[in-house]
A and B are shown apart, each in its own frame.
Chain A
Amino acid sequence: MADAAPGLRPRPKSPSVEIDGGVWRWHLTMAASILHRATGFGLYIGALIFMLWALALASGADGYGAFTTLVGSIPGKVVLFGLTVCVFYHMANGVRHLFWDAGYGFKPQTATATAWLVIAIGIVGALGFWGLLFMAGAL
């Protein structure tokens, strides 16, 4: 990069080239945004699992048994728990987006607070839901 002409202040650079200079920093709101996309991607796969549930049910008792055995295995439960986190997070952050669409919640402090809130809902919601599953004797 060429040096600034003599007598002139250095021209401002893009934040991307000033990472070491401390202009760029990680924001929670950014993490929340990335998580929204990541959980949405996860739920794309979740919808296909919903499809498999319906197809297995339509195929009869044997097919449904094979499906429940698969999702009831340890790896199956790990995937389903991850999808439960995705459901609660994506739903909570989706509602956050709807409030933004209506013009509310843009103050930086508010946006950061609601980012914490939806992350908490994602984790606590999934744990609570699996607690209910456990109490119902489904695990």
Chain B
Amino acid sequence: MAVVRSPLGRARGMGSSKHGVGHFIAQRVTAIALVLLVVWALAASLQLAHGDYDSAATWLHSPVNAALASLLAFAAFWHMQLGMRTIIEDYFAKPGTKGLLLVVNVFISWLGGALTILAILKVALTSSGMNV
């Protein structure tokens, strides 16, 4: 295995920077979180599906619901950014196209996540009755 390392790397005695598995681990950790959060969201959506605006807004006034909905958005948008990155890297070989799509993917994911969480917090932190 020693031949795999560059002569300079061997001279400096430096190994891997330990960041190579970041994508893999983040994808798995967000996946485990999403199993729990999505099961919760499915149960919650049964309750919200036939509700009107007031019942949905009241539902988000619960700190537990607002926190879990925010965490769902955080984990989902992170996980989808990781997954789409793999798809882009698989199908687009041209560095320019690939790089552009990877940046667009990051922007969509972070913008989507930020908008979703701030919208949830706005509803959660607006005192009951103000929007009615």
Interface, chain A (partner B; CB < 8 A): 37, 40-41, 43-44, 47-48, 50-51, 54-55, 57-58, 60-61, 64-65, 68, 87, 91, 94-95, 97-98, 101, 129, 132-133, 136-138
B5, CB-defined interface residue at 8 Å: no
Q: Are A87 and B38 in contact (CB under 8 A)?
A: yes
Is there contact, CB below 8 Å, between A41 and B49? Answer: no
Report A-chain residues with C-beta under 8 Å of the C-beta of B31.
94, 97-98
From residue B55, how far is it (CB to closest CB) to chain A in Å?
A: 10
CA distance A68 to B76 in the complex (A): 22
Q: In the complex, A65→B118 CA distance in Å? A: 20
Complex: A65 Cα to B115 Cα, angstroms: 19
Q: B101 to nearest A CB, angstroms? A: 13
Which of B69, B80, B87 lies at the interface centre, i.e. has the most chain A CB atoms within 10 A of its CB? B80
User: With A61-B53, A94-B35, A133-B49 in contact, is A37–B119 under 8 Å at CB?
Assistant: no
Q: Is B131 an interface residue, CB under 8 A from the partner?
A: yes
Cβ contacts under 8 Å, A101 to chain B: 28
- Chain A interface SS verdict (over half): helix
User: Measured between alpha carbons, how far is A9 from B32 in the docked complex, in Å?
Assistant: 51
Kindly report which residue of chain B lies nearest to residue A72, judged by CB atoms.
Answer: B49
Task: Decide if B122 touches A50 in the complex (CB within 8 Å).
Answer: no
A57 and B76 within 8 A (CB) = no
The reply to whether B38 and A91 form a contact with Cβ atoms under 8 Å apart is: yes
Do residues B35 and A136 form an inter-chain contact, with CB atoms below 8 A? no
Query: Is A40 a contact of B80 with CB atoms below 8 Å?
Result: yes
Flag if A51 contacts B115 (CB, 8 Å).
yes
- Is B35 in contact with A57, judged by CB distance below 8 angstroms? no
A126 to B61 CA separation, bound complex (whole angstroms): 29
The residue in chain A whose Cβ has the minimal distance to the Cβ of B35 is A91
List of B residues within 8 angstroms of A65 by Cβ: 52-53
Q: Of A61, A87, A97, which one neighbours B132 at CB under 8 angstroms?
A: A61
Contact partners of A60 in chain B: CB under 8 A: 53, 131
Q: Are B49 and A138 in contact (CB under 8 A)?
A: yes
Known pairs A57-B56, A57-B57, A129-B42 / 10 extra A-B pairs, C-beta < 8 Å: A40-B84, A40-B87, A44-B83, A47-B77, A47-B112, A51-B112, A98-B28, A98-B32, A132-B46, A138-B50
